[in-house]
Chains A and B, each alone.
Chain A
Amino acid sequence: MSLLHWAILSPFIMALFVPLFYKKFRSIHTGWFVLILPILLFIYFFQFIGDTMNGRNIIESVGWIPSIGINFVAYVDGLGLLFALLITGIGSLVILYSIYYLSKDKEAIHNFYVYLLMFMGAMLGVVLSDNVLVLYTFWELTSLSSFLLIGYWYQREKSRYGAQKSMLITVFGGLSMLAGFILLSIMTNTFSIREMISQVATLPEHTLFIPAMLLILLGAFTKSAQFPFHIWLPDAMEAPTPVSAYLHSATMVKAGIYLVARLSPIFAGSAEWFWIVSTVGIITLFWGSFTAVKQTDLKAILAFSTISQLGMIMSLLGLGSAALHYDHLDKNIYMAATVAAVFHLINHATFKGSLFMVVGIVDHETGTRDIRKLGGLMGIMPITFTLAVIGSFAMAGIPPFNGFLSKEMFFTGVVNAASLDIFNMQTWGALFPIIAWIASIFTFIYSMILVFKTFTGKYQPEKLDVKPHEAPIGMLIPPIILASLVIIFGPFANILSQSIIEPAMAAIQPSLLGENGSYHVHIYYWHGWNTELFMTIGVIAIGTLLFISLLKWSKVYDLFPKRLTLNNLYDGGLVALERSSFKINKFYMTGFIRDYLVMIFAFMIVLLMSALFVKDAFAFTTTNSAPIGIYEVVLTLVLLAGTITILFAKSRLTSIISLGVVGYSVSLFFVLFRAPDLALTQLIVETVSVALFLLCFYHLPELQIKPKSLKFRLPNLIISLGVGTLVTLLALSANGSKLFESISSYFVEASYKEAGGKNMVNVILVDFRGFDTLFEIAVLGIAALGIFAMIRLRLTRGKEG
C-alpha cells in the first residue's frame, strides 16, 4: 500500500471516525473535523501537477485478488489528476459550505458526512483506478453513496422517490458498464486500462468491439445524465444543496464524462463512437437547455442546465475523436473540440458549483426556491447577487468570464465539425453548429432568468416565510472562491493550459502526441473577428430579445403534451413492470398443487420426449425378451382391471379396494418372477397401507362427503397419457439398448463365498449394500416420529392457530 492508495482510501477510513466525532464533540460542528481531510488531499494531489506536466505518470499497485488479475492499481495521469483535484477541491468547499448550511442540532449530520466521505473516496477511486473491475467497484460505491445522499431527508416522499429513481437508472447503467468491461477484458485478456490501450491496434476488428462500446457508453450516459437517461437528475435535487453542488454538478455526473474520456484511446477511432457520443451529447445539450427555461424551481433550472452542459462536454468529446483521422495534418483543427471539453469541464465545475451554493443561500435565507415568489433580493443580498451574476454570466458565455472562452471553443469545435469529410459529415455536419447555437440561446435565457427573476424586479416579502438577509460569511466563502476562479480562468486561462489541460489531453488522445511528447495548448482570449465571435454576439442579441419577450412565447411549452414526457414513460414503465410481473406471477403461481403438477409433468414430457427424438434414442428389440406365459397375461388383466376401476370408481371405498387389488397382484407378480422377499414385503406393506387408507377414508369430514366420480378434464387426460407413453417409451428404449452386462453375476458368486449367506437379496440388503438399508430404516424412523409429532403435537398448534 503506497501513500497514494492510502490517500484514495482515506475518506473511507475517515468516515469510520465521523460518528465518534459527532458523539464526543457535540459542541463543535462535525464538518470542521471532516474538512481537514479534503484540504490535505487537495494539497497532496496538487503536488502531482509537476509530474504530469512533464509527462510522468504515477503508477502504484497493490494486490487485491492477484490470482485472477484484479489488483488495485492506482494510476495518476493528467486526466485522473484533473478529476482528483476537482473532487478534493470542490469537496473541501462543499464541506465548508455544508457546515453553515446544515444545522448541527437539527440534522443527523454524522450520517451526512459519512455518506459524503464515502462518496468522495469512491469518486477518487473511480478516477484513479487503472483496473476496470476496481473502477467498477468504486463506480457502484458512488451510485450507492449518491443514493444515500439524495435520500438524506428520508422522511420526505420526494427524496425517496428521487433516490430510488437515480439508483435504478445509474445501477442499470453501472451493470451494463460492467458487462462492457468484461467484454473488453475478454478481447484484451487484461483488466488494466493501460494494457488495453496498448492493444488498441487490433481491437476494432474484434466482434465484441461494438457491443462492449455500446454497453460502456450506456453506463457513461446514465451516470452523466445524458438524453434520455437524464430524468433522474432533476429529481435528485431533493438532496441537500451541498450534495447537489458536489455530486450533481461537479463530480459524480462527470464520472460518465471521465469514462468516455478515459476510454477514448480505445474506442475513439470508430465511426460509431463518434456518432453516438456527439449526437447524444448534442441532443442532451439542446433538450436540457430547452427544458431548463420552463422550470420555476431554481434547483430544477440548475439541474437541467447541468444536463445540457454535460451534453455539451460529451458532444465535444465525440467531435474531438474525429481528430484521430487527421493525424497527418500539421495543425489538427479537430483537436480543439477535446481541448474545449477539458476546459469546459473545469469551468462548469467552478461556475455550477458556485451557482448551486448561491441557490442554496437563497433557499436558506428566504425559505423558497420558487422564482415566482422571489424577486428584488439584489439590495438585501448584494454579495449573493454578485456571485449569481458571475456564475450565470459565465454559464451564458458572456465575457470576461471563463464560460465565454469555453463557449467560443465549443463553437470552434462544432464549426470545425461541419467541415469534416468523414462519416457522412458532409451531409449532416451543418446541423451541429445550428443546434449548438440554438441551445446556446436557451442557455443564455435560463441564465438570465436565474439572475434577474431572483434578484431584480418586485420584492414580494408577503410570499416569503422568513425575513431574508445576507448569508453568514462562512456560507459565502466557498462560492466566493469558486467565483474568483471563474473570473481568473477567464483572462488568465493559460495558467490551466500547460499544467492541467495538456496532460489531460495527453491521456485522452495519446496517439496524437507530437514529437516532443506533449501538446501545446494555447487559449487566446482575443481571437479576432471570426465566426465564433459573431455566433456569440448573435446568442446574446437574440437571447436578450427572447428573455424580454419570455411571457409572450413561453406558452410554446404547453404545446408539448404532458403525457409524452420521459418522466411519465419512466413512471408508467415502472408501474407497468410491476403490474405485469405481478400478473405473470399470478398466472402461473395459482396456489393449486394440481396446476404445478400439470406444469411439472408437461415440462417433463416436452423435455424428455424431445430429447428422445432429437437424439434419436428410441430403440426397441425383442432379442432380450422372455416368452410371455399365461399367468403373466392373466395377472396383467387383473392389474389393468384394478387400475381402470380406480379411475372410474364412483366412491372412494371402491378406489381403495381396487388399489389393494393392484397391490396384491403386484405381489403375485413378484411371486411369479421369483422374488419371495419382495412378495412377502409387498403383501404386508399393501395390507398396512390399505388399512391406513381406510382409516383416512373413515375420518373424512361429514359435510364434504360427496361421493362422485372423477371429473373429466382434457388437459389432464393428455398429460397423463403423455407421461404414460413417455415412461413406456423410455423403458422400452432402455431395455432395447443395454450397453453392458449386469453386475448381478458377482452377487450370485460372492454371496455365499464372501458373506456366508444363501439368501442373496438379504445379503445384498444387509451386507453388500448395508449402507442403503441403514438410511432406509432411518427414513422409517423419521416417518414414525413425524406421524407421532403431527398427531400428538396438534393441540399446541391448534392453540397457536
Chain B
Amino acid sequence: MKTNDLILQTITKIAIFIILAFSLHLFFAGHYTPGGGFIGGLMTAAALVLLLLAFDAKTVKKIFPFDFIKVAALGLLIAVLTGMGAFLFDVPFLTHTFGYFDIPILGHTGLATAVLFDIGVYLVVIGVTMTIIQTIGEDE
C-alpha cells in the first residue's frame, strides 16, 4: 500500500527553506547572539532530516549529492587549516583576528577569522549527523 504524503511533502518544500535560512542565521549570528557553528550545523541537519522523512533517502541523495563523511572531513580540514593559518603571521596556533570593513551591500561589517573556524565546526556537525542518520537508516 502506498501512502500519500502530499501535505507533508508540500509543507516540507516550504518549511525546509525557512529552516535552512534559520540555521544560516544561527550560524552567522553566532558571534554576536546565541548560535554558532554547532547549533547551525544541527539545524541544517534537521532540515535534511525533515527532507529525509517527507521523501526518501534517494531523493535526499539526488538533491544533496554529497558523501557526508567527506563533508565532515572537509570541516575538520578547514578547522585545522584556519588554525594553521596563524602560522603565516608568526603567531601561535589558532590565533584569531578580526576587523571592520565596508562591504558594498552589507555596509559596515565586522569580519572575524573565527568564523572561518566556525565553518569547519558547522560542516563537521552536518557531516557527522547525516552520516549517523543515513548509516542507521539504510541499515536493514
Contact at A777–B124, with CB atoms within 8 Å? yes
Contact at A766–B125, with CB atoms within 8 Å? no
Contact indicator per residue, chain B 101-140, by CB within 8 Å of chain A (1) or not (0): 0000000001010100110110011011101100110010
Question: What residues on A are CB-neighbors of B57 within 8 Å?
Answer: none
B4-12, B13-21, B28-36: which lies at the interface: B28-36
Residue in B73, B112, B125, B127 whose CB lies within 8 Å of A757? B112
Question: What residues on A are CB-neighbors of B99 within 8 Å?
Answer: 756
Cβ-closest chain B residue relative to A786: B132
Q: Taking A756-B98, A780-B72 as contacts, is the C-beta distance between A680 and B121 under 8 angstroms?
A: no
Q: How large is the interface on B (under 10, 10 to 19, 20 to 34, 35 or more residues)?
A: 35 or more
Contact indicator per residue, chain B 31-69, by CB within 8 Å of chain A (1) or not (0): 111111111001100100000000000000000000001
Cβ-closest chain A residue relative to B112: A756
Question: What residues on B are CB-neighbors of A370 within 8 Å?
Answer: none
Q: Does A792 contact B (CB under 8 A)?
A: yes
Contact at A774–B79, with CB atoms within 8 Å? yes
Residue in B33, B46, B124 whose CB lies within 8 Å of A781? B124
Contact at A766–B96, with CB atoms within 8 Å? yes
Question: What residues on B are CB-neighbors of A680 within 8 Å?
Answer: 26, 34-35, 39
Bound together, the chains give a CA A163 to CA B24 distance in angstroms of 76
Cβ-closest chain A residue relative to B46: A684
In whole Å, how far is A11's beta carbon from the nearest beta carbon of chain B?
58
Q: A723-741: which have CB < 8 Å to B? A: none
In whole Å, how far is A253's beta carbon from the nearest beta carbon of chain B?
66
Contact indicator per residue, chain B 68-102, by CB within 8 Å of chain A (1) or not (0): 01001101100110010000000001101011000
Bound together, the chains give a CA A618 to CA B35 distance in angstroms of 39
Residue in B35, B128, B136 whose CB lies within 8 Å of A677? B35
Q: Does A332 contact B (CB under 8 A)?
A: no
Contact at A771–B34, with CB atoms within 8 Å? no
Contact at A755–B98, with CB atoms within 8 Å? yes
Bound together, the chains give a CA A791 to CA B136 distance in angstroms of 7
Contact at A785–B37, with CB atoms within 8 Å? no
Contact at B69–A785, with CB atoms within 8 Å? yes
Cβ-closest chain B residue relative to A778: B76
Question: What residues on A are CB-neighbors of B39 within 8 Å?
Answer: 677, 680-681, 684
Q: Does A763 contact B (CB under 8 A)?
A: yes
Residue in A677, A757, A763, A788 whose CB lies within 8 Å of B69? A788
In whole Å, how far is B20's beta carbon from the nearest beta carbon of chain A?
15
Question: What residues on B are CB-neighbors of A777 within 8 Å?
Answer: 75-76, 79, 120-121, 124-125
Contact at B34–A759, with CB atoms within 8 Å? yes
Residue in A762, A774, A784 whose CB lies within 8 Å of B72? A784
Contact at B118–A780, with CB atoms within 8 Å? no
Contact at B42–A681, with CB atoms within 8 Å? yes
Question: What residues on B are CB-neighbors of A767 within 8 Å?
Answer: 96, 112, 114, 117
Bound together, the chains give a CA A759 to CA B34 distance in angstroms of 6
In whole Å, how far is B34's beta carbon from the nearest beta carbon of chain A?
4
Q: Taking A762-B36, A777-B76, A777-B121 as contacts, is the C-beta distance between A757 and B132 under 8 angstroms?
A: no
In whole Å, how far is B63's beta carbon from the nearest beta carbon of chain A?
21
Question: What residues on A are CB-neighbors of B33 within 8 Å?
Answer: 758-759
Residue in A677, A770, A778 whose CB lies within 8 Å of B117? A770
Question: What residues on B are CB-neighbors of A780 within 8 Å?
Answer: 72, 124-125, 128
Question: What residues on A are CB-neighbors of B131 within 8 Å?
Answer: 784-785, 787-788
Contact indicator per residue, chain A 749-774, by CB within 8 Å of chain B (1) or not (0): 00000011111011101110011011
Bound together, the chains give a CA A688 to CA B132 distance in angstroms of 11
Bound together, the chains give a CA A774 to CA B121 distance in angstroms of 8
Cβ-closest chain B residue relative to A770: B94
Contact at B117–A762, with CB atoms within 8 Å? no
Contact indicator per residue, chain A 667-708, by CB within 8 Å of chain B (1) or not (0): 000000000110011001100100010010000000000000
Contact at B80–A774, with CB atoms within 8 Å? yes
In whole Å, how far is A361's beta carbon from the nearest beta carbon of chain B?
79
Contact indicator per residue, chain A 643-666, by CB within 8 Å of chain B (1) or not (0): 000000000000000000000000
Q: Does A477 contact B (CB under 8 A)?
A: no
Contact at B117–A791, with CB atoms within 8 Å? no
Q: Does A575 contact B (CB under 8 A)?
A: no
Contact at A766–B114, with CB atoms within 8 Å? yes
Q: Does A783 contact B (CB under 8 A)?
A: yes
Question: What residues on B are CB-neighbors of A792 within 8 Å?
Answer: 135
Question: What residues on A are CB-neighbors of B121 within 8 Å?
Answer: 766, 773, 777
Contact at B72–A771, with CB atoms within 8 Å? no
Contact at B139–A677, with CB atoms within 8 Å? no
Bound together, the chains give a CA A681 to CA B37 distance in angstroms of 11
Contact at B31–A784, with CB atoms within 8 Å? no
Question: What residues on B are CB-neighbors of A765 within 8 Å?
Answer: 36, 38
Question: What residues on B are CB-neighbors of A791 within 8 Å?
Answer: 135-136, 139
Question: What residues on B are CB-neighbors of A688 within 8 Å?
Answer: 42, 129
Bound together, the chains give a CA A765 to CA B33 distance in angstroms of 14
Cβ-closest chain A residue relative to B82: A770
Contact at B34–A676, with CB atoms within 8 Å? yes
Cβ-closest chain B residue relative to A766: B114
Bound together, the chains give a CA A282 to CA B91 distance in angstroms of 80
Contact at A763–B31, with CB atoms within 8 Å? yes
Contact at A759–B32, with CB atoms within 8 Å? yes
Bound together, the chains give a CA A755 to CA B131 distance in angstroms of 33
Contact at B132–A787, with CB atoms within 8 Å? yes
Q: Taking A780-B72, A787-B131 as contacts, is the C-beta distance between A762 and B83 under 8 angstroms?
A: no
Q: A759-B36, A781-B75 are in contact. List 13 more A-B contacts (CB 8 A).
A: A680-B39, A681-B38, A684-B43, A685-B42, A755-B98, A759-B30, A766-B121, A770-B83, A777-B76, A780-B124, A780-B125, A784-B72, A784-B131
Query: What are the 8 A-B residue pairs with the smallest beta carbon separation, nearest first?
Result: A756-B98, A676-B34, A757-B31, A784-B128, A777-B124, A762-B36, A784-B131, A758-B32
* Residues of chain A having any CB pair with chain B under 8 Å: 676-677, 680-681, 684-685, 688, 692, 695, 755-759, 761-763, 765-767, 770-771, 773-774, 777-778, 780-781, 783-785, 787-788, 791-792
The contact sample of 17 A-B pairs, CB cut-off 8 A, is A677-B39, A680-B34, A681-B39, A684-B43, A755-B98, A756-B98, A759-B35, A762-B36, A765-B36, A767-B96, A771-B83, A773-B121, A774-B83, A781-B128, A785-B69, A787-B131, A787-B132
* Residues of chain B having any CB pair with chain A under 8 Å: 26, 30-39, 42-43, 46, 69, 72-73, 75-76, 79-80, 83, 93-94, 96, 98-99, 110, 112, 114, 117-118, 120-121, 124-125, 127-129, 131-132, 135-136, 139
